[in-house]
């Protein structure tokens, strides 16, 4: 047996073990999946293309068929999965403690400040208007 057939059998064996242990994604693909789904797609299809370019045609065929399953799972199952929702909730909760994203921490450590707004033109009537305005004020404002 040449390396191409051995690689295809190993790939089928790894996928069978993953299915038996109910592992949804390989760990490296899941790490890219946490970043973005298109990156995970590029990694999966890039691996198939690399196998084909290095003349591992049978292994590339098996990897291509397995990547169809993985990509279907990535684009259909993962967006609605509890694992993804938990990952997003944890990251949103942890963002509260990151000074780059938390406005409260930025005010606390002094990296963000609030300057009061300044009027570019002074009002004609510096006194505050009381509602309803008096007839004299209405006459003065409206003419």
pLDDT tens profile 7-64? 899 988 988 888 888 776 677 777 777 777 888 888 889 999 999 999 999 999 999 9
DSSP element (H, E) containing 30: helix 27-35
108 occurs within a structural domain: no
Instruction: Give residue 63's pLDDT.
Output: 92
The C-alpha atoms of residue 8 and residue 62 are separated, in whole angstroms, by 6
139 occurs within a structural domain: no
Structure tokens at 74: 């990535």
The C-alpha atoms of residue 78 and residue 85 are separated, in whole angstroms, by 9
Token pair 């399953």 in the structure block, residue:
69
Q: What is the pTM of this model?
A: 0.53
Q: How many helices (H) and strands (E) does the chain have?
A: 7, 0
Number of domains within the chain: 1
Q: Write the DSSP assignment of 89-104 as a string of letters.
A: HHHHHHHTT-TTT-HH
The C-alpha atoms of residue 106 and residue 84 are separated, in whole angstroms, by 29
129 occurs within a structural domain: no
pLDDT tens profile 58-90? 999 999 998 888 888 878 877 777 777 888 888
95 occurs within a structural domain: no
69 occurs within a structural domain: yes
From the CB of residue 96, how many other CB atoms can be counted at a distance below 10 Å? 10
118 occurs within a structural domain: no
Whole domain around residue 67: which residue ranges?
Answer: 3-80
Q: Are 70 and 25 in contact (CB under 8 A)?
A: yes
């Amino acid at each position: 047996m040449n390396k191409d057939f051995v690689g295809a059998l190993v790939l089928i064996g790894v996928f069978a073990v993953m299915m038996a242990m109910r592992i949804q994604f390989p760990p490296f693909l899941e790490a890219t999946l946490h970043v973005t789904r298109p990156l995970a797609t590029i990694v999966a299809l890039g691996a198939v293309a690399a196998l084909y370019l290095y003349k591992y045609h049978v292994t590339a065929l098996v990897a291509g068929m397995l990547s169809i399953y993985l990509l279907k799972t990535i684009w259909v199952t993962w967006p609605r999965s509890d694992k993804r929702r938990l990952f997003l909730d944890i990251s949103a909760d942890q963002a509260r403690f990151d000074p780059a994203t938390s406005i409260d921490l930025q005010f606390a450590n002094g990296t963000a400040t609030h300057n009061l707004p300044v009027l570019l033109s002074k009002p004609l009537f510096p006194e505050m208007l009381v509602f309803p305005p008096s007839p004299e004020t209405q006459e003065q404002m409206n003419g």
